[in-house]
């Protein structure tokens, strides 16, 4: 999200998949949130497998 905010008109952003967005979120956000919140994100992500390869 920080990358997007610094350059909101980055046309390459449309080529990123749902899974890649999640991996970025995980890298940036997980160190700052509780283990239970991390587990909630993981569970939701795993249940949305059909979305993993869709472009944003």
Residue range 26-52, pLDDT digits in tens: 999 999 999 999 999 999 999 999 999
**34 or 54: which carries more pLDDT confidence?**
34
With 70 as the cut, is the pLDDT of residue 11 above it? no
Output b/e per residue, 10-48; b: 16+ Cβ within 10 A.
Answer: eeeeeeeebeebbeeeeeeeeeeeeeeeeeeeeeebeee
Mean pLDDT for the chain?
A: 86
pTM over 0.85: no
Q: Where are the domains of the chain?
A: 14-56
Residues whose CB is less than 8 angstroms from the CB of residue 16 and which lie 6 or more positions away in sequence, other chains included: 55, 56
Please name the residue ranges forming H helices in the chain: 2-6, 18-29, 35-47
Question: Quick one: average pLDDT of 3-23?
Answer: 75
With 90 as the cut, is the pLDDT of residue 7 above it? no
């Amino acid at each position: 999200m920080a990358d997007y905010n610094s350059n909101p008109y980055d046309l390459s952003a449309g080529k990123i998949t749902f899974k890649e967005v999640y991996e970025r979120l995980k890298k940036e956000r997980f160190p700052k949130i509780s283990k239970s919140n991390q587990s909630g994100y993981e569970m939701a992500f795993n249940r949305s497998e059909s979305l993993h390869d869709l472009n944003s």
